[in-house]
Amino acid sequence: MSTVFYGSCISSGHAAGPLFYRRDTAVSFVRGCDPAAEQVRFQEALRLSDRELSDAYERIACHDPASAEIFSAHRTLLRDPLFLGAVEEKINAGFSAASALDAAEEKLSKTLKNAEEERASAFLYDLSDAVRRLSFYLSGGGSRLPESGRFILYTEEIALGALVFEHEKIAGIACMRCDPASHGAILARSYGIPVLSGIVLPDTQPDGAFAVLDADKKTLTLTYGERREVEETLTPKEETEELPPLPEGMKLYGNAGSLMEALKLPNGKAEGIGLFRSEFSYMGRTEPPGEEMLYLEYRRLLESLRGYPVTIRTADLRLDKQASFGSPEGLLKTQLRALYRAAGEGDLRILFPMVKDAADFRRLRTLAEEVCREVYAGSPEDSKTKVPLGAMIETLGAVREADAIAREASFLSIGSNDLLRELKKTDPDADRGDVLSLLPGIAKAAKDAGIPVTICGELARDSEKWPCYKEIGIDAVSVQL
């Protein structure tokens, strides 16, 4: 018997394993306490938190300095006079240490809730993490993670310490709450741990369930039946089958949506990242990520894959999502600034999705060049400012003007899935054969312009067609590996 729960995707991917329900010890929220005794308890919680953050920083600073900065920022917050003063004021008024923490967080959150600066928003994320960590120690530490084996962790909120020290055990995370821009979410994505938020399990949930977490489908499936039967639903066979060798001269790239997913690709098979889906950083959010957050994510990605080409597709957001975030051009400029700032850390290529026609690509290229000049204003010309700009050919307008687009672009990428959806808008009976009939013209446009062309989507994975792709002039396939 299986039960399916639905949540919001915070970090993409699939995982399966025994469910571990992390139940934290309840904290006493009372008043009328002895201030001296509660101050001692609070100072001990501060000491343990600081030690955890220091250990975490030392553990990851050598190989992931961007993530280490998160823990350095949290240590600074624990010494912040505004934060400490708000807690100590309540303790001196007779609040328990836990009650004082809760009241201080509420007070500071109200003070900053109307601030629009990303810096203030980031402070609130740090504050929430700090309060959760201190509450954990005030409660006695809660339940510990299993000593061995990989499992699906169910918890109220993601604990940064657990991610740093126990991430090799955690196959996936289901949690009640998690902001996509929180440091816990960023770290989970960097470790390649799939995360679902908004999952609420009954307090009486018994132990021993086997869990399948599919963050891309936004589902958590719990069962007490046969484990094998559930595991088989985790990943479709077509996504795990071995691919045959490509025709001589063709290249194989991989698709990815997270850092850890990307790190698995240059493994003797893929020659780099042909499509990095950047829109994941925008999912599940009520406001768009800021430039600094995006820059840190892209810098980590490029640093980790230095020596391999990495093609990052700018965010392909639904129209309703764009509208809720404000100006599409403003969103794109923020992302482009982050990309150009990170460009010097690796071999970056920028790919624009859903290009309508040649004029649309020309507009996008002009915008990118303007942003590039802003980012590198006053700097000498060097290789990091010369980032190749590519166009996805996945609309009928782009197909019709492929020749003109190819003359403007550094490379083309054929989005076979979206191209089929476009065809079906005008002809519901359109199929893959109709998409295949468009490929020779696109490939010729790229060849005439002297630029490479890659195909992605389901047609890219059809290895029987690879010799045909090679013959018509397609240079590479980019697939999910």
CATH number at residue 316: 3.20.20.60
Q: Are residues 217 and 299 in the same domain?
A: no
Radius of gyration of the chain (CA): 25
Evaluate whether residue 29 is within a structural domain. Answer: no
Of 138, 158, 190, the last residue of a domain is 138
Going from the first residue of the chain to its last (481 residues), give the mean pLDDT of each consecutive group of 10, the final group possibly shorter: 86 85 60 88 89 76 66 77 87 90 81 51 65 77 63 83 74 87 74 88 73 89 61 42 84 82 70 89 71 84 88 78 71 94 94 96 96 81 71 96 97 95 91 95 97 95 94 94 72
161, 259: one domain: no
**Are residues 11 and 119 part of one domain?**
no
Residue 451, both tokens? 């630029």
pTM over 0.85: no
Strands 14-21 and 219-223: unpaired
What is the rounded distance in angstroms from the CA atom of residue 163 to the CA atom of residue 144?
13
Instruction: Give dist(CA 276, CA 188) in Å, integer.
Output: 17
| 432 in the same domain as 298 | yes
Domain range for 163 is 2-22+143-231
Q: How many folded domains does the chain comprise?
A: 3
Same domain, 347 and 378: yes
- Same domain? For 158 and 129 the reply is no
Tell me if 467 is assigned to some domain: yes
Query: Is 174 domain-assigned?
Result: yes
Residues 350 and 444 in one domain: yes
The verdict on residue 260 lying in a domain is yes
Q: 321 and 468 share a domain? A: yes
Same domain? For 469 and 385 the reply is yes
Tell whether 132 and 212 lie within a shared domain.
no
pLDDT at residue 28, as a whole number = 54
Residue 100 belongs to some domain of the structure: yes
- Please report, for the domain that includes residue 12, its CATH number: 3.50.30.10
Buried-exposed string 461-473: b where 16+ CB fall within 10 A, e elsewhere: bbeebbeebbeeb
Residue 30 lies in a domain: no
Q: Are residues 329 and 472 in the same domain?
A: yes
